[in-house]
Amino acid sequence: MKNRSHLMATYAEPTVTFVSGSGTTLIDDQGKEYLDFLCGLAVTSLGHARPEVTSAIADQANTLSHVSNLFANELGPEVADLIDGLLTTATGTSGRVFLCNSGAEANECALKLARRVQPGKHAVITTLDSFHGRTLATLTATGQPAKHEPFQPLPEGFSYVPFGDLTAMKARLAIGDVAAVLVECIQAEGGVNVPEKGYLSGVEAACREAGALFMVDEVQAGLGRTGQWFSFQDEGLTPDVVTMAKALGNGFPVGACWAKADVADCFGPGDHGSTFGGQPLAMAAVKATLATMIDIDAPNAAASASAHLVSSLSDLDGIVAVRGRGLLLGAVLSAPVAGAVAASALKDGLIVNAVRPDVIRLTPPLTVSSEEIDEAVRRLGVILHETMGSTQS
């Protein structure tokens, strides 16, 4: 492994260096192959080095990478149309898109919209155990007090309620100062937590009653992963603002914040911006990614692979439940050994991660094959047997 001493130590020391990938497979610098059941934390949803996307990026790099937002380019509006098309179908309402570079930036845009939309109301409610990013505002929106501690003082105007507790949400909304609620429909980083049916529609209805925006963070769950284009569709919700990133460029760094037109229109020139947002190179990646997702019916691919993966995982000794939807899954273990299981899996050429002491997250590409699922589950079964055996002895 290369000397990493001049990188800021913001991540745990990695043990593996990857050098190439194709589909569900990654290869390390020793030539060892891995089954990637995490896909860059739900990023490479079409698999590594998907040809339609890589050739679009290469062609665009050879044509025009960047012109700045002082000028128009042809791809930004095309991508905005594509994203708005998906959201118009999902919500029944057309809107506008702000293009940026990451999930945190997409949420930052949502938070700034919330501040602008109704003068006099500025508070944003999020839920405990949520994750919305690492910039100062999105870290504050993230409902994890331990992550806040080292960075005080944080921006004002954020409140937290327990995920799934509609009464607490209504009580906080009733104070009357709330501009927006921001939620993940399935809390991904927080442990793949799925609320009870009716909770999210209750939150949306409470937002409408209180005159607050209902904003959904689809950064991890969106773009086909849960078996629908957006996870909010499961309860037929109609959010005012939707953020997305991870899978949007199949690995090319890009994010987007969509808002219904009347909400989006509270921004004018100078209110928000980003040097790289909406520039041709990233937009070529997004256009190719979305076109391929539409072509292969990515939500449907996720739903059918999910049925096979969930039933195979559920049969394994040591797994007591499988939660989540589509290919955003958390395997709940019968003991708090998720960290050890993920480490052994990596040694055995299977990439998953621990999101809770007893929960393993699996987010394979939406293109994962039945054979790859069978092989991953076989490896996991052996590891669980070994790990649970050794914890019991």
* Backbone phi, psi, residue 366, to 5°: -70, -10
Distance CA 85, CA 348 (A): 42
131 near ligand PLP (CB under 6 A):
yes
Distance CA 65, CA 114 (A): 32
Task: Tell the smallest beta-carbon distance from residue 215 to ligand PLP (Å).
Answer: 12
**Residue 371 buriedness (CB in 10 A; 0-12 / 13-18 / 19+):** exposed
Residues numbered 168 to 187 that lie near ligand PLP (CB under 6 A) are 184
Which span (11-19, 127-135, 233-241, 273-281) binds ligand PLP, by CB under 6 A? Answer: 127-135
103 near ligand PLP (CB under 6 A):
yes
CA proximity to 220, closest of 305, 100, 324 = 324
Task: Tell the smallest beta-carbon distance from residue 251 to ligand PLP (Å).
Answer: 12
Considering only 50, 132, 172, 225, the residue that binds ligand PLP (CB under 6 A) is: 132
CA proximity to 63, closest of 334, 279, 230 = 279
217 near ligand PLP (CB under 6 A):
yes
CA proximity to 233, closest of 39, 361, 92, 111 = 92
The residue nearest ligand PLP at its CB is: 103
Q: Is the bond preceding residue 153 a cis peptide, omega within 30 degrees?
A: yes
Task: Tell the smallest beta-carbon distance from residue 235 to ligand PLP (Å).
Answer: 17
189 near ligand PLP (CB under 6 A):
yes
Q: Which is nearer to ligand PLP, 114 or 337 (CB)?
A: 114
> How is residue 39 written in tokens?
């896909």
Task: Tell the smallest beta-carbon distance from residue 184 to ligand PLP (Å).
Answer: 5
Q: Which residues pair with 250 in a beta bridge?
A: 252
Q: Which is nearer to ligand PLP, 91 or 102 (CB)?
A: 102
Q: Which is nearer to ligand PLP, 43 or 388 (CB)?
A: 43
Which residue, chain included where needed, has tokens 């559920």?
314
292 near ligand PLP (CB under 6 A):
no
Task: Tell the smallest beta-carbon distance from residue 146 to ligand PLP (Å).
Answer: 16
Q: Which is nearer to ligand PLP, 137 or 373 (CB)?
A: 137
Which residue, chain included where needed, has tokens 């939660």?
323
Task: Tell the smallest beta-carbon distance from residue 101 to ligand PLP (Å).
Answer: 8
Which span (54-62, 128-136, 292-300, 320-328) binds ligand PLP, by CB under 6 A? Answer: 128-136
User: 25: part of which helix (H) or strand (E)?
Assistant: strand 25-28
Which span (9-17, 63-71, 101-109, 364-372) binds ligand PLP, by CB under 6 A? Answer: 101-109
356 near ligand PLP (CB under 6 A):
no
Which residue, chain included where needed, has tokens 């990439």?
351
Distance CA 364, CA 47 (A): 8
Number of residues near ligand PLP (by CB under 6 A): 15
Considering only 104, 166, 247, 286, the residue that binds ligand PLP (CB under 6 A) is: 104
Distance CA 199, CA 216 (A): 14
Q: Which is nearer to ligand PLP, 36 or 184 (CB)?
A: 184
36 near ligand PLP (CB under 6 A):
no
220 near ligand PLP (CB under 6 A):
yes
- SS3 call for 108: helix
**Residue 205 buriedness (CB in 10 A; 0-12 / 13-18 / 19+):** middle
Distance CA 133, CA 141 (A): 8
> How is residue 272 written in tokens?
């928000």
Residues numbered 44 to 73 that lie near ligand PLP (CB under 6 A) are none
> How is residue 281 written in tokens?
């190179």
Considering only 90, 245, 284, 362, the residue that binds ligand PLP (CB under 6 A) is: 245
Task: Tell the smallest beta-carbon distance from residue 107 to ligand PLP (Å).
Answer: 6
The DSSP symbol for 232 reads G
**What residues line the site for ligand PLP (CB under 6 A)?**
41, 102-104, 107, 131-133, 184, 188-189, 217, 219-220, 245
